[in-house]
Amino acid sequence: MKRTLALLSLTALLSSPALAQSGELRLIAQASEQGNPSMQALVDAFMKKYPNVKVRTEFFPIGTGYPQVLRTQLQGGNAPDLFYVTAGSGGLVSVLPFLDAGYVADLSKRPWAKTVIPTASRGLYWKNNQLAAVPLGMTPIAAVYNVDLLGQLGVSLPKTMPELLKTCGVIRSKGKSMFSLAGANPQNGGLLAATLAENYVLGSDPQWNAKRTAGKVTFAGTPSWKKALQALLDMKNAGCFIPGVEGADLPQAAPAMASGQALAFVIPTGAISALKSINPKLNLGAFVLPGPTAASTVLAVSPTDAIAVSKNSKNLPAALAFADFIATGGGSELYTKVTGDISTRQAATGQNLPPELSGIATALRNKSRIAPLIQIEWSNPQVYTTLGEGVQGLLTGQLTVDALLARLDAAWNRK
């Protein structure tokens, strides 16, 4: 009897998914000068759960260094088992071109394949019924605000653009600003314009990017794009932004928010930790930047980092187990806890969010009003740079809305 129980226990132990995997994996990813602690934490947690699998990490400089190494290894037949990628096809390490080239294992048969990626972001990971990667997390773009300052000012969070413009006037009359903005920083200026376009462009036509890719629409010929950029000018004219916004960069804009001179800052919510590093006492919340009406308002939630499995991995079962660990084994939660983003499960359910993000929980659950950042599907990075640079031109009055839209079309067509 004892022998039978021992055999049953051993059988159960060996059939455990964690212990069934063994061997070694090699994972490569980008890293800053400080390394990549979020990725290393993920790898360490996986090896703790899968003690018979050793994952060897190799990190390379962020920027052009990592993309060059990745392409060299893939093209040279020395592919790692797992490698860091980004969503879509417009970036240096975007995953869909790697799928087209035959470097990536299809993950469409994994148990989580149809649930972890929001419908609106499906086209960034899926192609021809193949799933190219597993996302490590999601980034909402929201208006992060100072909860204590909101109470001191005696105003309510706006739910429509007309309400927002009126609120800006009230706050300005009290010597503060509604929004901090780095108008001289193309990335930050472009983010605000892109977030407005979520509401005005994708809010009325979710397929606008696909139509632009097909050449069926243009920036200049789309009335909703004119309305989006006009809304930015309306915000400026209503006194929504910090004084000197057109010359402000992040070293001026972030402290303005952290010091209480501005109520809110439209940023990726993963940047909340950066604000708190300036002022640890900040009591922060988040709301969705409103569109022309409450019904037309869209929350931008974009996939961030992702991991692809090499099609030629010599230990494919263990590599797939790593992907499963990210998707449903707690890996996404662990990774995003370090980066400050939210996990794929939090994005899908709107539950168990950090306290600062409770204000966008309802928006996360409204799947019909969720969209990835509009620029993530654009033809080349220069389009977004042109938009960001154009925001400064709008703020200074040196550029008109029509002129900026024409520049965006020219950038789109650039090879």
- Would you list the DSSP string of 233-279? HHHHHTT-BPTTGGG--HHHHHHHHHTTSEEEEEEEGGGHHHHHHH-
Residue 404 has pLDDT above 90, yes or no: yes
Question: How much is the pLDDT for 120?
Answer: 76
Residue 399 has pLDDT above 50, yes or no: yes
**pLDDT tens string 382-397:** 898 899 999 999 999 9
Question: How much is the pLDDT for 104?
Answer: 97
Task: Tell whether pTM > 0.95.
Answer: no
Point out which residues pair with 24 in neighbouring strands: 54
- Closest by CA to 36, choosing from 27, 25, 46, is 27
Residue 209 CA to residue 215 CA, distance in Å, equals 10
Residue 66 has pLDDT above 60, yes or no: yes
- Helices of type H across 102-249: 147-153, 161-173, 186-197, 208-213, 223-237
Residue 115 CA to residue 280 CA, distance in Å, equals 36
Retrieve residue 378's tokens: 């654009």
Question: How much is the pLDDT for 90?
Answer: 65
Retrieve residue 330's tokens: 């707690």
Retrieve residue 403's tokens: 């002129």
What homologous superfamily does CATH list for 140-301+357-413?
Answer: Periplasmic binding protein-like II (3.40.190.10)
Residue 19 has pLDDT above 90, yes or no: no
Residue 209 has pLDDT above 50, yes or no: yes
Q: How confident is the model at residue 14 (pLDDT cuts 50, 70, 90)?
A: very low
Helix (H) or strand (E) holding 372: none
- Closest by CA to 220, choosing from 410, 383, 415, is 410
* Domain ranges, ordered by start, for the chain: 21-138+303-341, 140-301+357-413
- Please state which architecture CATH assigns to domain 21-138+303-341: 3-Layer(aba) Sandwich (3.40)
Q: What percent of the chain has pLDDT over 90?
A: 72
Q: Span 19-44, mean pLDDT?
A: 88
Q: How confident is the model at residue 7 (pLDDT cuts 50, 70, 90)?
A: very low
Q: Span 195-218, mean pLDDT?
A: 94
To the nearest whole number, what is the mean pLDDT of the chain? 91
Same topology between domain 21-138+303-341 and domain 140-301+357-413? yes
Whether the CB-CB separation of 166 and 173 falls below 8 Å is answered with no
